Chain A
């Protein structure tokens, strides 16, 4: 069933067209992105529960270019009943900025080559969000909490979270008139337990461009979440060093995201903050490695039809057979680099600037069997439990923090678990060390991605199991 388009955006569509037509007289380029995103978060814990608005936004951002300079206005109280008054307010806010910009030199852009497009897309889900009442959703989460708590007497708190979001966006420029509506949902089972070393946590999560069908998937991760807690409680500190590693798809995705995803965001090329431009068409990874990014490639939490600058979604081949092919790019950076945008211009919300951001980023599959990969390890760890990551594209460093490593000696699990673990290294060394890749690709999208330490957006990452060598601490 298709999600329903936003009545608010439908209502303001014609007024915005009028305003854009008026503004286009004053500026070389003008566009508006209007958003109306609604979300609810349901949380049940062992001792408390809540319902709250989540991920919602309703507002608009105008972008203008004047003699190559760029200015934007984000606003959520623009009164459209008299479109000419609304136009004048935006003109004043933009023109004042352009006057001020005369104090500085600018990095110029040219958006006059924007292609024409008209779209009206509503994506679908299997089970609509409103097919269960809030009470039914809370009851279901409460049942999961009860089931989790009964699994292990060391559990001191079970947290079950479910978030459902309907994203609606309208983009209008002189050449484009596009509207899209799509759903996403995510859920997590987080289990806190007390062991000899104090309070520890295990979790698992599910996500996707999905409706209420996700609630069934939540039930399916109860046992895995409890096992993850059990393993984390058992974990001892790792002896720092270089090890053979096998990464679960979760960790493979984290590496894809942190190692190469951020490193090929082309706004970083404009700022000379990445090494990637020097490696285009050169080997940056083992020949077994392929990597894609794009809102078109998988139906996950960031699978839109057009980005926040009105560029249609792409499937970008970043690495092919270990060779770096190209980066991902927002519209302004593309103009400055004399290339084409790839549909990766994303904003945290209408309130924020657009940057080059990832969508669904993953390593492609290989031909190896997981059991063969494990039996090939002399001394190392199977790594699982993504916690966080950080990029350093300028120096191509990588930092990934993980919950657990399962020790493998001479091709067999010993039963020993280590954690938490920090994986660091030089990206190219890490990716060139990949010697085996399994067949099945999985993508996960329950986290958020920041640019530096802000601008949080939804992204999905994944891949198959990979075998590599890495420094662990």
Chain B
């Protein structure tokens, strides 16, 4: 890293630079039923350099980013950095400053144990499936250990390491007439066996429900109940639309100070973007610009109080930068899950893909597994789709009191949104 810094210092016109080196060791396993498809090992290193060039008189700042690979020759690196400096001079963005933050103590080192962790996860998956008598179709396990070094022009120099895991799991269920599958993915920093076992058990139960599900009825409109990761996806509109870059680039329908849920009959959104959340793979001391990450209250009682985001766009919006935070915490609501489910509704547990547009609030998805709730009775359904716009409907949004924590998200386990369109089958 020092050799790269030495080259950068040869260019007096570079006003700021950030060098991030990341070395990753990974172990990966791919299973079909209980047999191994293949295993993989990975060892890769990358260094990204972001450099900034100012035209102080014109109040303009340009930047360019390059990625250096270990096999680049010294000549190639010199050429790439030279071209990056020329490129940064061409970029005419409104001027901004990166905060000068050089006194940060951060000691976070995770011992590399990708093989032990991976095999522990594999044993856990087989064990849980066996206990639940679930039909495991296939799964993939990825365990990564990352060693990160950060250096910027202000002298901030950090070394730390992290470990993260990713699982993709496909399960089947059968009836005499058909076999179906459900697909789930999980990301976490460390294995919480109890929590993951609960999620797997629920997945096997849901697969059995889907296998015997009836076609979605033609409802046209329904009150929608969402749970788990779909809650995170939908509430992501509030994260995306309060980001400083989205506001600056007019990609948000929100304005700071706005009461987002005026005349709401339901629960008011409370959102805090966090620098750390237990078990999240996105916990870090700083963002890619070297801004120390600061947890920020973004929406309080439905009112958009403060935008969050990177140094550049926060500067443009005349805000103290929070840094590019990755973890979100939403406060639970006023009703228990039992109360949310006490009135007639359409509950969707699993979509083919739940599509949410963070800018517009539009959402839609094909129903892989849902339940109609009528007079307190739940009937499994599948097929058809739901669609709507969160911003048009969030005056009737209800959040569960019960909260979940999954990787980067903390928030209600379930939500209820009234008046959603349903394209049923029969």
Contacts and interface: CB of A to CB of B under 8 A. Distances in A.
A51 B39 contact: no
B138 interface: yes
Contacts of B42: 73-75, 351
A93 B41 contact: yes
A395 B41 CA distance: 33
Contact of A53 (B30, B35, B65, B91): B65
Interface stretch (A97-105, A120-128, A217-225, A369-377): A97-105
Interface string B32-50: 1011111111111110000
B201 interface: no
B253 A198 contact: yes
Contacts of B34: 104-105
A200 B360 contact: yes
B91 A49 contact: yes
B71 A58 contact: yes
Contacts of B248: 47
Interface in B1-57: 28, 30-32, 34-46
Contacts of B119: 100, 103
A142 to B, nearest CB: 9
Given A273-B181, A394-B180, A473 B90 contact: no
A60 to B, nearest CB: 9
A157 interface: yes
A134 B249 contact: no
Contacts of A74: 40-44
A388 B360 contact: no
B115 A138 contact: no
Q: Is the interface of B mostly helix, strand, loop or mixed?
A: strand
Contacts of B359: 192, 199, 201
Interface stretch (B152-160, B272-280, B380-388, B403-411): B380-388
A69 B29 CA distance: 12
B32 to A, nearest CB: 5
Contact of A473 (B44, B353, B423): B423
Contact of B362 (A73, A104, A420, A472): A420
B86 interface: yes
Contacts of B170: 271, 273
Given A51-B91, A199-B359, A399-B365, A77 B44 contact: yes
Contacts of A392: 352, 366, 368
Contact of A394 (B181, B362, B366): B181
Given A134-B86, A420-B387, A424-B384, A353 B36 contact: no
A387 B385 CA distance: 16
Nearest to A59: B44
A72 to B, nearest CB: 4
Given A93-B41, A353-B40, A76 B32 contact: no
B236 interface: no
Among B32, B86, B220, B252: residue with most chain A CB under 10 A: B32
Contact of A471 (B72, B365, B423): B423
Contacts of A394: 172, 179-181
Contacts of B422: 240, 473
A59 B72 CA distance: 11
Contacts of B87: 51, 134
A106 B364 CA distance: 40
Contacts of A50: 63-64, 91, 93
A96 B87 CA distance: 45
Contact of B71 (A51, A76, A107, A239): A76
Contacts, number: 224
Interface string A187-207: 000001010011111000000
A387 B359 CA distance: 14
Contacts of A273: 137-138, 170, 181
Contact of A422 (B72, B92, B387): B387
A194 B250 CA distance: 9
Interface residues of B, number: 80
B343 interface: no
Contacts of B178: 395
A240 B39 contact: no
Contacts of A104: 31, 34-36
B121 interface: no
Interface in B134-191: 137-138, 168, 170, 172, 178-181, 183, 185
A424 B423 contact: yes
B250 A351 contact: no
Interface in B85-134: 86-87, 90-94, 115, 119
Interface in A168-211: 192, 194, 197-201
A198 B183 CA distance: 34
A454 interface: yes
A424 B385 contact: yes
Given A53-B65, A240-B424, A392-B368, A97 B385 contact: no
Interface residues of A, number: 75
A45 interface: yes
A390 B366 contact: yes
Interface in A98-140: 100-101, 103-107, 134-135, 138
B181 to A, nearest CB: 4
B251 interface: yes
B40 A395 contact: no
B70 A422 contact: no
B317 interface: no
B138 A48 contact: no
A447 interface: no
Interface in B328-362: 351-353, 355, 357, 359-362
Contacts of B70: 76-77
Interface in A261-319: 270-273
B391 interface: yes
A271 B181 CA distance: 11
Contact of A47 (B41, B94, B352, B425): B94
A105 B199 CA distance: 27
A105 B276 CA distance: 40
Contacts of B193: none
B373 interface: no
Contacts of A101: 36, 39
A237 B86 contact: no
Contacts of A157: 249-251
A78 B179 CA distance: 46
B281 to A, nearest CB: 14
B64 A107 contact: no
Interface string B398-426: 00000000000000000000000111110
Contact of B32 (A200, A271, A471): A271
Q: Closest 3 interchain pairs by CB?
A: A473-B423, A240-B423, A390-B353
Given A47-B94, A454-B185, 18 more contacts: A49-B91, A50-B63, A74-B41, A74-B42, A76-B69, A93-B41, A96-B41, A104-B34, A106-B37, A107-B37, A192-B359, A240-B421, A332-B38, A351-B44, A353-B40, A387-B355, A399-B385, A453-B185
26 contacts: A47-B248, A50-B63, A51-B87, A59-B71, A72-B38, A72-B39, A73-B42, A74-B43, A75-B42, A77-B71, A93-B41, A100-B115, A101-B36, A104-B34, A105-B35, A134-B87, A272-B137, A392-B368, A394-B172, A420-B357, A422-B423, A424-B384, A453-B185, A473-B364, A473-B385, A473-B421
Interface of A: 8, 45-53, 56, 58-59, 69-77, 93, 96-97, 100-101, 103-107, 134-135, 138, 156-157, 192, 194, 197-201, 237, 239-241, 270-273, 332, 351, 353, 387-388, 390-392, 394-395, 397-399, 401, 420, 422, 424, 452-454, 471-473
